[in-house]
Structure 1
Amino acid sequence: MQHAALIIPALNEAPVIGETLDGIPAGLFRQVIVADNGSDDGTAEIARQRGAIVVREPRRGYGAACLRALKEVSPDCGAVVFMQADASESADEAALLLAPIRDGRADLVLGSRVLGSAEPGSLLPHQRFGNWLATRLIRLLYGHVYTDLGPFRAIRIDALGRLGMSEPDYGWTVEMQVRALQKGLRIIEIPVRYGLRKAGENKVSGRLGASVKAGWKILWTVVRLAVRG
């Protein structure tokens, strides 16, 4: 497999983006791309100082940031890893996500916080319920058992191109998982660690209203994709 790229969407993550980037194993990625989603706290400057490629996407949304970052991935890239900026995920586990792709066993590898170990308090009750509800809906509609919709994942770049990703916000992760089923991708889930964010506030789970809005968006995305096929 050709080289891998790492994409990290970020919005006002100045207190933690440096730690996140410092935790990336040397030599694992040829490109580390931080998609600045409109930060005003110096996130982009810190990322540049750490050697990351920084792109700016003013349109707010996790998916919008990911789509913008993908435009910077070099043509010879074989796989992409998506990781959060808040140091809640362990960058050293990115190699575990890439291994099944490099071995030719998978097209999409998902890091499951449910199969792995989540630090107490890192997954709030409404997050767990929403995750459970969405994965059960996918099982009902597609007959596939997912344990998690977490964003830590790796995917072959050619497989990603087949999915036609378009969701601009928090429907991005579930869109990828549903479209992967529709396209017949080889999918593996592996256990990963998940911790409390080191600083700042989660843009979704830290606010109940935002969590409810994101939850409805995820459920609607599952249903919409099932209807449209």
Structure 2
Amino acid sequence: MTDVVLPCRDEAAALPALLARMPAGYRPIVVDNGSADGLAAVARAHGARVISVAEPGYGAAVHAGVLAADPDDGVVCVMDADGSFDPRQLPRVAGPVRSGVAQLGVGRRRPATRGAWPLHARAANAALAWRLRRLGLPVHDIGPIRAVRRADLLALRLRDRRFGYPLELLIAAGRAGWPVVEVDVDYHPRAAGTRSKVTGTVRGTVRAVRDMSAVLAR
């Protein structure tokens, strides 16, 4: 059974449909990072395991979820929980890791509809991905959906607990010499009633870029 870490804050509206599409063999861990919309109760009602994390920040939520994942399976997935990704595509991302082709599998967002990925967020992502390719990483996205062996991830000892976490993971994987495989995944508009903390506003994107720039500076 592969655990899927779903870092969440006020995304209860997206969870029923998302959890209903979780593929066989993939078990959701919903990480409640300070929600005020009854998210934990909704997640439990739809069969998900729920853990609560008081420390704010995307990286804090992901790290707590990875720690809570079953070490026996080995592979853990992480996916945004706002409804923008189809969990039925998780095997596509995890496959290269399970087969040994890669130590890190990441998704490259391919917008399924016009407007799914706001221009300001796409531009910021492209700039960061370009810098990663200059470091030798074959990626075009910073990996909002990814798969990795739990022990490998924890061994990297990532420090960022905010929006810089995905970027720090990619940089650390590159420095460690990990083979990284990027696969295309569909990117949909997020579920009604939710708003991305990053792409939903220009301010959110600026905040994320600031966190990621701090990671690059290190």
Q: For the superposition of Structure 1 and Structure 2, which TM-score range results when normalised by the shorter chain?
A: over 0.9
**1:118-141 CA distance string (max 9 Å, x none):** 42111111111111111122233x
Moved over 6 A (4+): none
Matching of residue 167 in structure 1 with residue 165 in structure 2: no
Q: Which moved more, 1:174-183 or 1:13-22?
A: 13-22
* Alpha-carbon offset, residue 49 of structure 1: 1.0
| Count of aligned pairs | 217
Superposed CA RMSD in Å reads 1.3
- Paired position in structure 1 for 2:22: 24
Structure 1, unmatched stretches of 5+, are: 225-229
* Alpha-carbon offset, residue 75 of structure 1: 2.5
Q: Specify which of 76, 96, 101 is matched with residue 100 of structure 1.
A: 96
- Paired position in structure 2 for 1:183: 176
Matching of residue 122 in structure 1 with residue 119 in structure 2: no
CA contact (8 A) 2:77 2:148 kept: yes
TM-score w.r.t. the length of structure 2 is 0.94
Matching of residue 9 in structure 1 with residue 7 in structure 2: yes
Query: For 2:65 and 2:213, how far apart are their aligned partners in 1?
Result: 25
Aligned AA (2:53)? E
Q: How does 1:1-229 map to 2 (within 5 A)?
A: 3-25=1-23, 27-29=24-26, 31-113=27-109, 116-140=110-134, 142-199=135-192, 200-224=194-218
CA contact (8 A) 1:86 1:197 kept: yes
Secondary structure (helix, strand or coil) at the match of 2:44 reads helix
Query: For 1:14 and 1:4, how far apart are their aligned partners in 2?
Result: 22
**1:32-90 CA distance string (max 9 Å, x none):** 21000011111000101111110001211111001111221123121011011111101
* Alpha-carbon offset, residue 161 of structure 1: 2.1
Query: For 1:145 and 1:108, how far apart are their aligned partners in 2?
Result: 12
CA contact (8 A) 1:28 1:95 kept: no
Percent identity over the alignment is: 32
Secondary structure (helix, strand or coil) at the match of 1:112 reads strand
